[in-house]
Amino acid sequence: MATTDKASPRDRLLDAAADLFYRDGVSIGVEALCRTAGVSKRSMYQLFDSKDEVLAASLERRLPGYEARLIPGPQDAGTPRERILYVFERLAKASVEPGYRGCPYLAALVELKDPQHAASRVAQGAKERLKDVFGEQARLGGASDPELLARRLMLVFDGASARSGAGVETLDDGLATATAATLLDAAGVS
C-alpha cells in the first residue's frame, strides 16, 4: 500500500508497518519504517513508544479487513459446514494473490516467539477469534466435540497458510478445503 501525503503521520506509519512487516518480517528497522512512511524518527517516537508498539497497532488496525475477507458475515447464508468451508475457500483464493505471504497474525507469532509481546497478544487474539468462529459453527453443525474440531481446523488453516505463504504448497487445488471437509465429515458436521 502506498502512503500518501494527505494521510496523517500516524496513518502513514501504520500503513508502512503493515506492508513492511508482512513483506519482510518484524525485524525491519525503525529507519526503514520511517523512510517508507515519510515520517521522521522523532515524529514516530512522539506517536508511539517503540517499533513494537507500531507493529501491534498495525496488526490491530488491519484485523477488521482481514476478518471481513476471510470470515462469512451475518448476511452470508449457509449451513455451518458451508460457513466453515468458506473460510478455507477464501484462504485458497488469497493464497494465489501476488505478494501473498501467509497469515500475518501467524507470521507475527512465529517471528516474535514472545507471547507477552504486544503484537503477539494482538495476533493471538486474532487466532482465537477464528478458532471461536470454527467452534461456534461446529457446535451449530452438531459436532460432538466442537472445541476439538475447532482446534483441528486451526491446525489445517495455519499449516496451509504457512506452507502456501512460504511458497512450498499451493492451495488453489482445494487441498486445504478438502482436508477441512474430511474433518467436518468425521465430526458429523452438516
Give dist(CA 79, CA 103) in Å, integer: 25
What is the CATH number assigned to the segment(s) 9-48?
1.10.10
Give dist(CA 130, CA 28) in Å, integer: 27
Task: Pinpoint the residues of the chain covered by CATH 1.10.357.10.
Answer: 56-187
CATH among 1.10.10.60, 3.90.1150.10, 1.10.357.10, 3.40.50.150 for 56-187: 1.10.357.10
Phi and psi at residue 104, in whole multiples of 5°? -65, -25
Name the maximum alpha-carbon separation found in the chain.
57
How much of the chain exceeds pLDDT 90, in percent? 92
**Closest to 91 measured CA to CA, from 147, 170, 184:** 170
Q: What is the pLDDT of residues 168-184, one digit of tens each?
A: 998 999 999 999 999 99
pLDDT confidence tier of residue 5, bands split at 50, 70 and 90: low
User: What is the arithmetic mean of pLDDT over 102-125?
Assistant: 96
Residue 164 has a pLDDT of 96
169 class by beta-carbon count within 10 Å (0-12 exposed, 13-18 middle, 19+ buried) = middle
Residue 51 has pLDDT above 80, yes or no: yes
Residue 74 has a pLDDT of 83
Residue 73 has a pLDDT of 87
Give dist(CA 157, CA 177) in Å, integer: 9
In degrees, to the nearest 5, what angle opens at C-alpha 102 toward C-alphas 86 and 106?
95
Residue 89 has a pLDDT of 96
User: What is the arithmetic mean of pLDDT over 2-15?
Assistant: 81
Take residue 160 and report the three cell numbers written for it: 496451509
User: What is the arithmetic mean of pLDDT over 38-55?
Assistant: 96
Task: Pinpoint the residues of the chain covered by CATH 1.10.10.
Answer: 9-48
Residue 7 has a pLDDT of 87
Residue 49 has pLDDT above 80, yes or no: yes
Note whether 151 and 131 are within 8 A (CB): yes
